[in-house]
Amino acid sequence: MKKVIIDPVSRIEGHAKISIYLDDTGQVSDARFHVTEFRGFEKFCEGRPLWEMPGITARICGICPVSHLLASAKAGDRILAVTIPKAAEKLRRLMNLGQIIQSHALSFFHLSAPDLLLGMDSDPKGRNVFGLIAAEPELARGGIRLRQFGQEIIEQLGGRKIHPSWAVPGGVREPLSMEGRTHIQNRIPEARAIILDALGRFKNLLQDYEKEIQTFGNFPTLFMGLVTPEGLWENYDGHIRFVDSAGNIIADKLDATNYQEFIGEAVQPDSYLKSPYYRPFGYPDQSDYCRLDSGIYRVGPLARLNICSHIGTPLADAELREFRDRGKGTVTSSFFYHYARLIEILACIERIEIMMDDPDLLLGQSVAEASNRLRANAGINQLEAVGVSEAPRGTLFHHYQVDENGLLLKVNLVIATGQNNLAMNRTVAQIARYFIHGYQIPEGILNRVEAGIRAFDPCLSCSTHAAGQMPLHIQLITTDGNIVNEIWR
């Protein structure tokens, strides 16, 4: 058996490689996505006080720190056994909306648009954000401005754009100022215009990517995420729902506290990334990956749009109807993660505009007032709790066990990217089997294998790879270990 190695995978957040195994005729027999970095947050958080956890875990990622901040704070709320003030919950929701906007904008405009706008087979020296700026300056500028809008919402609430130690067990530290509210309101029209233009541009491109739509992770799985009690699109609270590829609700109104009853976590010997699966259906082996009753499931924007009844804002709901028409109901192609991100950005902008008229957001304009109206104070009342929130990439669980003094005894983090791990591996194999035939593999085909992973926007650490000369190394290795072909770029 021969093997193609892509190491590292470029334009994702973190470090990974892809192995593609070829048989003696040059046909793909298997493919694997390996995460090659180790962080260890679950272990070195042991012994830390509960109160520090939101600030510590926000450092897990520089792209989505708010996701960990909120999931950690929600776990803290449960350990304190408090209901946080209404204003604090709304402010947390506002920050999460800003987080989804900035992260989705980074994924689409900076990491994936070079493939989509410049072409999968374009010169890799220019197939990056700088090449996009040269070829499509207005689109690139809009993407930068859109991400800036999301980051400014985070900054107006938390005091800084990255790693804000703002949400705490029991509530939040600071309110939204009147100046911050005005600034956000003034930026909304531009943000809405940018995303509507991007949606139109993307939909016009779809006819050029029919092969990619059919082969980029297009197979039956379950989809999981949070919805409201009425089944609406949710990003902060609610309950867990599983839907299958035929649109059937498999499980609903699940309490995240009991996640271990419906999510199992497998470990692979060739990756530091765990492989969660839907426990009632069991761990999927190679032979049953695509069965409708396989335990493989997907999370994130594609899943959220598949499981909800509707979004609840007019423009986004109109886009959701068109999205589902294109997929003839439940959308199974992972290529449409890009499409789903754009729709979610629009939904976030619409919800933010509605929230700007909510007087609760401006409660507690002084520090003394804020301490009474934005935070519930209590001691340690529970020794174990789970906090869950929707990160840009999918549902995020923080599971803590503490002692009577609030010191962490055990931490388990179920990351959204991990929950997509099985689907990402299946995607790599599907793309490789369709496009790779023989030992000479064009660069554009290898880029498609990488692009299949980028569709999921995996967040493997708190850094992104440098644009420009992409550090890709591929080797063709025979069964006796000889290197028969080698490529660098």
* 429 three-state secondary structure: helix
H or E segment to which residue 408 belongs: strand 408-414
Rounded-to-integer distance, Cα 437 and Cα 445, Å: 10
Amino acid identity at 120: M
Structure tokens at 121: 């087979």
DSSP class per residue in 247-303: S-EEEEEE-GGGHHHHEEEE--TT-SS-EEEEGGG----GGGTTSTT-S-EE-SHHH
Rounded-to-integer distance, Cα 231 and Cα 307, Å: 8
Question: What is the pLDDT at residue 237?
Answer: 93
Question: What is the pLDDT at residue 365?
Answer: 52
Structure tokens at 14: 């973190």
Residue 31 and residue 4 in contact, taking contact as beta carbons nearer than 8 Å? no
Pairing of strands 16-22, 263-266: unpaired
Q: Which residues contact 49 (CB under 8 A, 6 or more apart)?
A: 405, 406, 407, 408
Rounded-to-integer distance, Cα 396 and Cα 299, Å: 10
Nearest residue to 422 via CA among 330, 318, 288, 304? 288
Residue with tokens 């809405």: 192
Rounded-to-integer distance, Cα 452 and Cα 175, Å: 41
For residue 290, count CB atoms less than 10 angstroms from its CB and return exposed for 0-12, middle for 13-18, buried for 19 or more: middle
Question: What is the phi/psi pair of residue 358, to 5°?
Answer: -85, 115
Rounded-to-integer distance, Cα 272 and Cα 426, Å: 17
Rounded-to-integer distance, Cα 97 and Cα 113, Å: 22
Question: What is the phi/psi pair of residue 189, to 5°?
Answer: -60, -45
Question: What is the full per-residue pLDDT of the chain (489 aa) written as tens digits?
Answer: 566 665 655 545 555 667 777 777 777 777 777 665 566 788 888 999 999 999 988 888 777 889 999 999 999 999 999 999 999 999 999 999 999 999 999 999 999 999 999 999 888 888 888 999 999 999 999 999 999 999 999 999 998 888 888 999 999 998 999 999 999 999 999 999 999 999 999 999 999 999 999 999 999 999 999 999 999 999 999 999 999 999 999 999 999 999 999 999 888 776 677 889 999 999 886 554 445 568 999 999 999 999 999 999 999 999 999 999 988 889 999 999 999 999 999 999 999 999 999 988 876 555 445 545 899 989 999 999 999 999 999 999 999 999 999 999 999 999 898 899 899 888 988 988 888 877 777 778 888 888 888 899 987 643 222 233 333 444 444 455 555 555 454
Furthest CA-CA distance within the chain:
73
Nearest residue to 214 via CA among 342, 334, 343, 339? 334
Rounded-to-integer distance, Cα 292 and Cα 221, Å: 6
C-alpha pair distances (Å), 359 with each of 87, 154, 171, 260, 347? 9, 19, 17, 39, 21
Structure tokens at 35: 């995460």
C-alpha pair distances (Å), 340 with each of 105, 119, 202, 289, 327? 12, 20, 11, 24, 12
Structure tokens at 122: 């374009």
Rounded-to-integer distance, Cα 69 and Cα 99, Å: 11
Rounded-to-integer distance, Cα 272 and Cα 268, Å: 7
If one counts every other C-beta atom within 10 angstroms of the C-beta of residue 230, the result is 11
Nearest residue to 377 via CA among 159, 85, 86? 85
**Sheet bearing 483-488, strands edge to edge:** 28-35, 16-22, 2-6, 473-477, 483-488
